[in-house]
Structure 1
């Protein structure tokens, strides 16, 4: 099995983050034939047909598609962890555009088992062609639904962080993606491949949720590594919604927050699962506190909000008459 060696400093530097580029690669894999996760793409058959039509018109993109994604492997340049200054899809795509063609060709040769990539790929401008195809995937398959996806990823990160606070890294990483588990004593099993252990003790480790079924790992050695994992299905499906009658009574914003408080949450967690801004959540919580529908208590460094009995009654899906 393949292991990454991490110490307490690596874990302290590790963090969860959202990547639109990683989600675009996840969509690309589905368009290339890998099974889609529930809710990953709105029209898999239609998008695949449009994708095939595009490849039929562009031999460079078609050759790239045949070379970059093979069973159990994805070209390394598609998996590179995002930098601290890369905050959106355009930033990460810009890094790909700046990658020398020789680096892309070397990664494709690895995917092809050491064989030389097709001649059409060895012409100047390969990085631009790959970036063009990924831009099409982003604009067509991901961007129209990006706000929902981003909120779901943020909610997943909240849940994972809560598991980390409560049960440590074993709880946070257990079952994060197929084949991965925390072995203890600084050993993280990444997959079942028989690769030599990688020492990450001077590196930063990122955890990135996407709608992929299985996920992947990425690296920009020696200082940056990432694990892309499947977003929890429930969170990926939809944000919290409130009963219609409650929304009419106290307003949709406050109703959504009250519905979300089936379990105690902080304001940060409420922002993630409701999709409302921090200021809006704070204002709604103040009104709910004054109406005695919620209370709050301190838990460590966090302030958690929870429903009162009256709040529970109002938020019930089928309240008693």
Structure 2
């Protein structure tokens, strides 16, 4: 099985984080037809035609997408985990730009069972050309939504971290991505393929949410390993069409309308803070008003208090 053997000190240092490059790769996969997370269909309809036009006029981009985005495989240079000092998309992209041509070609051949890449990809400056393609995807299809997606990812991280503190790694990693589960005793089942176990002795271990449908694993051996996973539920797939309607904002005010809209699934106060960008005191005060009005109720789940809409709240938010 594809298991990672994780030492206790590596596990203790493991952390959840966000990655603009990982989200850009997730967007590239969606645009290339590798699945679309529920709720992302409007985004795909908005950006898909321009991406197809790009591939039609840029032969290198079309060949690269076909060679690099294969079922159950991605080249390492495309999904290298972020370094500790990386803060922006440009920070992460500069490592891809520096990838030697021979390393790019070797990894593409690996994904094709040893067959050499097509002649259109055997050109100088591969790292720069691939980075330019990703920069276009980021600029045209990801950057405008990144602040909202980042808040959604941070809310998911808060939820996972709270689960970790109350139930350990088994609770935090439960259902993280299809086929993966925590087996205990430092063993993380990555997938069901018959790969030899991979020992993480001194590496940094990262968990990165994105809008991908299945996620992937990545490494920069022996320094960093990462599990990229689908952000929980429809959290990352929220579309501008799901924003509070004007009538609801006029009735409740913008802040309360936004909070009520986000409670389509149960959320903790800290998740709502991350999702909406409002302060903790503000969110708490508005939740009390919504509860008093019968639009929101709450229940305890372990150490968490989760808020969710009542039937009346659902009817009020419904179109």
- Normalised by the size of structure 2, how large is the TM-score? 0.81
Q: For the residues of structure 2 that align with 1:36 and 1:284, how far apart are their CA atoms?
A: 32
The answer for the alignment partner of 2:299 in structure 1 is none
Kindly indicate whether residue 198 of structure 2 is the aligned counterpart of residue 198 of structure 1: yes
Structure 1's unaligned 5+ residue stretches are: 294-301
Q: After alignment, is 29-38 or 205-214 more displaced?
A: 29-38
The answer for the alignment partner of 2:277 in structure 1 is 276
- Render the CA deviation track for 1:213-234: whole Å, top value 9, x for unaligned: 1110000000200000011123
Q: For the residues of structure 1 that align with 2:51 and 2:37, how far apart are their CA atoms?
A: 18
* Distance change in 2, residues 1:132/1:257 (3 Å): same
Contact 1:181/1:189, CA 8 A, preserved across alignment = yes
Q: For the residues of structure 1 that align with 2:158 and 2:226, how far apart are their CA atoms?
A: 18
Q: SS where residue 42 of structure 2 aligns? A: coil
The answer for the alignment partner of 2:118 in structure 1 is 118
Deviation at 1:269, TM superposition (A): 3.4
Q: For the residues of structure 1 that align with 2:76 and 2:306, how far apart are their CA atoms?
A: 45
Q: For the residues of structure 2 that align with 1:242 and 1:5, how far apart are their CA atoms?
A: 46
The answer for the alignment partner of 1:132 in structure 2 is 132
The answer for the alignment partner of 2:297 in structure 1 is none
The answer for the alignment partner of 1:253 in structure 2 is 255
* Distance change in 2, residues 1:254/1:100 (3 Å): same
Q: SS where residue 155 of structure 1 aligns? A: helix
Contact 1:209/1:229, CA 8 A, preserved across alignment = yes
Q: For the residues of structure 2 that align with 1:44 and 1:33, how far apart are their CA atoms?
A: 10
**Bigger-Rg structure (1/2):** 1
- Render the CA deviation track for 1:119-150: whole Å, top value 9, x for unaligned: 22222111111111111111222222222222
The answer for the alignment partner of 1:65 in structure 2 is 65
Q: For the residues of structure 1 that align with 2:172 and 2:259, how far apart are their CA atoms?
A: 26
Q: After alignment, is 1-10 or 37-46 more displaced?
A: 37-46
Contact 1:241/1:256, CA 8 A, preserved across alignment = yes
Q: SS where residue 148 of structure 2 aligns? A: helix
Q: After alignment, is 250-259 or 203-212 more displaced?
A: 250-259
The answer for the alignment partner of 1:296 in structure 2 is none
Q: SS where residue 175 of structure 1 aligns? A: coil
The answer for the alignment partner of 1:175 in structure 2 is 175
The answer for the alignment partner of 1:33 in structure 2 is 33
Q: For the residues of structure 2 that align with 1:65 and 1:241, how far apart are their CA atoms?
A: 33
The answer for the alignment partner of 1:161 in structure 2 is 161
- Normalised by the size of structure 1, how large is the TM-score? 0.81
Contact 1:27/1:41, CA 8 A, preserved across alignment = no
Deviation at 1:260, TM superposition (A): 7.2
Deviation at 1:281, TM superposition (A): 3.4
Structure 2's unaligned 5+ residue stretches are: 293-302
Contact 1:212/1:229, CA 8 A, preserved across alignment = yes
Q: SS where residue 52 of structure 1 aligns? A: helix
* Distance change in 2, residues 1:317/1:233 (3 Å): closer
